[in-house]
Chains A and B, each alone.
Chain A
Amino acid sequence: MAGFFSRLKQGLSRSSERLNSVFVKRLLDDDTLEELEDELIAADLGPAVAERIITKFRETSFGQNVTSEEIRATLAHEISHVLEPVAVPFTPDPEKKPHVVLVVGVNGTGKTTTIGKMAHQYRQEGKSVTLVAGDTFRAAAVEQLQVWGERVGAPVIAGKQGGDAAGLAYDGLKRATEEKTDVLLVDTAGRLHNKNALMEELAKIIRVMKKFDDTAPHSVLLVLDATTGQNAIEQVRVFQELVNVSGLIVTKLDGSARGGIVVALAEKFKLPVHMVGVGEKAEDLRPFSAQDYARGLVGEAATP
């Protein structure tokens, strides 16, 4: 099984080749810094954050005669400094039966798949898991989650297409509580954060669950696609405001996108980043590592 680092590495090799040509220069001068800044922009950090990182980097390293590896390592260190505080692992609270996790996000980011992966992980740890097919809107969304349920050995609470997601979540919570299930994972339909009616529907799911247990949901996880650019900032802002997001998950890091927007998110919102998705299979979920992520962003992963 490929590790987080090497999966990341495959996706990064293209961009890192370009970075390498930057790093052969020995003197850290204005030109080199500008090229580095451009590379960070090309990794989706955004122009403002890229500039800030490079400015700090300039303070520590400008004018030095350094090897390419040193530049890379220092820059990665600078970035991992930003990411370190948000690298918080996700562990369901064993005291809670169930620990209720609501999974939200815009369309197609990987919510349902991530629920399948999380369920797989907790099942492997010997925990009992129940899934709620809260996407009653999209074609075959229920069946998609049911396949995951069968794969990992977790019952799926499902209603009919077009049904009320909040009611379903309530039923799921009631049943999981009666059965003393360890973890309840609630899937929701993808929704764009700028659509008020859909966001209100999400708030309703939470309200209705609270009628059964006013501490639920215990976690609200926002799933972000690593391919997403600057719009991720708006996504986090609105979801956090309306449904009190407790943590982030970044998917599709096995691709060529480097997910640099996470640096901007870490600076701005300081929300925990719990895990990353690195493929479509059940085992393709990793804890978020600030160091690995930062190295990936500056292309350090590409050197053997």
Chain B
Amino acid sequence: MSKVFEGLSRGGKLSESDVSEAMREVRLAMLEADVALPVVRSFVKNVKERAVGGEVLDDVSPGQAVAKIVNDALIEALGGAGVVPLNLSAPAPIPFLMVGLQGAGKTTTSGKLALRLAGRDRKKVLLASLDVQRPAAQLQLQQLAEQVGQQTEGRVTSLAIVDGQQPVEIARRAMETGRREGYDVVVLDTAGRLAIDEALMDEVRQVRDATSPAETLLVVDAMTGQDAVNTAQAFKDQIGITGVVMSRMDGDARGGAALSMKAVTGAPIKFTGSGEKVSALEEFHPERVAGRILGLGDVAGLVEKA
């Protein structure tokens, strides 16, 4: 990648052909990083328009100039600098709804969020599993709550498991318990569901209507491929999303799904998961992810100069 940028001819202004050649490589790099095709298309088009005719400063090559434009545009497309905090301004107990595909990391992320809220924000958090699909799902959240509770002087607990209760009923009971027992936040963990599963999408809509969550967080695996756009669109249209959590950023996937998510939902990426432990939750830093998507780690210095 950086070679392409270096190879462009020097001159006063960026020519159409300088930019086109570089953008062909950018397109490929983004596709290899799993950014969804329609998102790549519109990104490349926008950056081209922005770059052609741009001035090149005396001491940088046109390649460096394009690299900077691409990098800046990508950071901007990922949400720009600055972390978007969780919405904690609703009256207590504040409901958070966790949604996403099967195995994305919702339950683990629920535990991580509870630790964060109970630890640094000193909130009292109730974890409630609405997952009546996956074997032992409610037990999984309960065990996580015990673990996190021990680390936070008991500020995190889980809702008692009642066999046979359905998700909407569990959600109501969670909010009820949250009110009665003075919790600040109630995290509603849901079963994994396919975006094309109408019955289950309808179910989570009912949970949303019954609880009016302050945050509806879509948990997405950082390894997700092109399907990210379908998932994002469906969850956005059918449920409404206030934020995204990218899990498994501790892997070596390039993480292009982050850009697809942001482009389609418009919702900020609030956190990244960086491990299986409940402490492995980080705030989202677009500049790091931008470099990762472009595979341009080595160009950071180069971009600095431009």
Using CB atoms and an 8 Å cutoff, list the residues of chain A in contact with chain B.
10-11, 14, 38, 41-44, 46-47, 106-110, 116, 137-141, 143-144, 146-148, 151, 190, 192-195, 225, 227-232, 234, 252, 254-258, 260-261, 280
Contacts and interface: CB of A to CB of B under 8 A. Distances in A.
A147 to B, nearest CB: 4
A46 B101 contact: no
A280 B134 contact: yes
Contacts of B133: 280
Given A229-B226, A257-B227, A108 B31 contact: no
20 contacts: A11-B194, A11-B196, A38-B37, A44-B227, A107-B105, A108-B103, A139-B140, A140-B142, A144-B136, A192-B251, A192-B252, A227-B223, A228-B223, A229-B225, A230-B33, A230-B34, A252-B101, A256-B194, A256-B195, A257-B227
B164 interface: no
Interface of B: 28, 31-34, 36-37, 101-105, 107, 111, 133-137, 139-144, 147, 194-196, 221, 223-227, 230-231, 234, 248, 250-254, 256-257, 276
Given A229-B34, A257-B225, A108 B139 contact: no
A195 B250 CA distance: 9
B1 to A, nearest CB: 14
A19 to B, nearest CB: 13
B276 A230 contact: no
A253 to B, nearest CB: 11
B32 A230 contact: yes
Contacts, number: 144
B139 A140 contact: yes
A252 B230 CA distance: 15
Given A231-B34, A231-B252, A255-B196, A139 B143 contact: yes
B139 A109 contact: no
Nearest to B227: A257
Contact of A144 (B140, B195, B230): B140
B251 A44 contact: no
Nearest to B104: A108
A233 to B, nearest CB: 10
B223 A229 contact: yes
Given A228-B221, A231-B223, A256-B231, 13 more contacts: A46-B31, A139-B139, A140-B136, A190-B276, A194-B251, A194-B252, A227-B224, A229-B223, A230-B254, A234-B253, A252-B101, A252-B194, A255-B194
Contacts of A47: 28, 31-32
B226 A147 contact: no
B251 A143 contact: no
Contact of A44 (B101, B105, B226, B276): B226
- Residue of B32, B111, B256, B276 ringed by the most chain A CB atoms within 10 A: B276
A148 B136 CA distance: 10
A33 to B, nearest CB: 16
A143 B142 CA distance: 12
A18 to B, nearest CB: 10
A144 B135 contact: yes
A192 B137 CA distance: 22
B15 to A, nearest CB: 25
A234 B230 CA distance: 24
B276 A107 contact: yes
- Residue of B101, B134, B194, B225 ringed by the most chain A CB atoms within 10 A: B225
A146 B33 CA distance: 38
A257 B31 CA distance: 16
A151 B227 CA distance: 32
B148 to A, nearest CB: 11
- Residue of A43, A146, A195, A256 ringed by the most chain B CB atoms within 10 A: A256
A222 to B, nearest CB: 14
Contacts of A42: 36-37, 226
A192 B250 contact: yes
A47 B196 CA distance: 26
A140 B136 CA distance: 6
A14 B237 CA distance: 15
A231 B254 contact: yes
A234 B252 contact: yes
A137 B195 CA distance: 29
A231 B251 contact: yes
Contacts of A232: 223
B223 A255 contact: no
In the A-B complex, list the 4 residue pairs whose CB atoms are closest, starting with the nearest.
A229-B225, A108-B103, A147-B135, A229-B34
Contacts of A225: 103, 221, 223
